[in-house]
Amino acid sequence: MSGAVKKRRICVLGSRSVGKSALVVQYVEGHFIEPYFPTIESIVFKNVTWNGENYEFEIIDTAGQDEYSMLSSRHAIGIHGFILVYSVASRPSFDMIRAVHDKILNYHGVSQVPCVIVGQKSDLPEKKLAPRQVTPQEGQTLAKELHAAWIETSASSNINVSKVFDLLLQEVEQQYGAKPEKATAPENKCVVM
Ligand SMILES: Nc1nc2c(ncn2[C@@H]2O[C@H](COP(=O)(O)OP(=O)(O)OP(=O)(O)O)[C@@H](O)[C@H]2O)c(=O)[nH]1
């Protein structure tokens, strides 16, 4: 194992109330937050060992987006990897994934960024608490099209939560490898919202 800690900055994006904060808190603190507090922005850190290397995640949990919200440069520039979250019980939140992904690509001026698409709240249809509005097949098809990884999770039942971050590291290391500074989009680039 090499001693150096590799820093990776991760941004979590998606519609309101899809469970972005719950996912991050379950991963970092190991518990589920039941009440809903809309996030403005929260940054948390976690150290992990992956493939024999030490990493420090800086995870930026953002306020929920809608089709009209602009992507802040803080949530695009210098970010190594993106977690795009929808709820499997919300079709509009799934439709938002493509819009957010397009905004990220516009910032970076590339055709691909390291990304994991997450279908959250998988417990809702399983426990018959809410009907499923997005099938796993639809999630996988979109991810294939956007060259992203895909997974379904439940923050409340702690299903697949840490796998999200393992998958993202895999995507980040595949794309940037030893050159993570390439995640920095040019500052003077014209940005199309
Ligand atoms: N059943 C279930 N509920 C969840 C899950 N994750 C989050 N929730 C609930 O969904 C609501 C919204 O969760 P948040 O984590 O605050 O959602 P968010 O995407 O961060 O919301 P914004 O800050 O508005 O963007 C809360 O009441 C959570 O308890 C899950 O995996 N299963």
**Nearest of 119, 109, 174 to residue 147 by alpha carbon:** 174
High-pLDDT (> 90) share of the chain, %? 69
Read off the pLDDT of residues 7-26 as tens digits, 9 standing for 90 and up: 999 999 999 999 999 999 99
Residue ranges lining ligand 1, Cβ < 6 Å:
16-22, 33-34, 36, 38-39, 63-64, 120-121, 123-124, 154-156
Distance 114 CA to ligand 1 centre (A): 24
Distance 188 CA to ligand 1 centre (A): 36
Evaluate whether 113 touches 193 at the Cβ level (below 8 Å).
no
Residue 34 confidence (pLDDT) above 90: no
Among the residue ranges 1-5, 65-69, 103-107, the one predicted with the least confidence is 1-5
One-letter identity of residue 7 = K
pTM of the predicted structure, to 2 decimals: 0.92
Task: Give, in order, the Cα–Cα distances in Å from 93 to each of 32, 88, 110.
Answer: 21, 8, 24
pLDDT at 140: 98
Mean pLDDT of the region 66-93: 91
Domain residue ranges of the chain, discontinuous segments joined by +:
5-176
- CA atoms of 20 and 43, how far apart (whole Å): 12
Residue 185 confidence (pLDDT) above 50: no
Distance 36 CA to ligand 1 centre (A): 6
pLDDT at 188: 39
Strand partners, 14: 85
Ligand 1 pocket: which of 41, 60, 156 to mutate (most atoms <8 Å of CB)? Answer: 156
Evaluate whether 26 touches 158 at the Cβ level (below 8 Å).
yes
Would you state the structure tokens that stand for residue 15, as one six-digit string? Answer: 């519609």
The CATH homologous superfamily for domain 5-176 is: P-loop containing nucleotide triphosphate hydrolases (3.40.50.300)
Mean pLDDT of the region 41-54: 94
Tell me the pairing of strands 149-152 and 53-62: unpaired
**Nearest of 58, 77, 117 to residue 93 by alpha carbon:** 117
Mean pLDDT of the region 154-174: 96
ipTM over 0.85: yes
**Nearest of 78, 77, 59, 63 to residue 168 by alpha carbon:** 59
Kindly indicate the confidence band of residue 1, based on its pLDDT and cuts at 50, 70 and 90: low
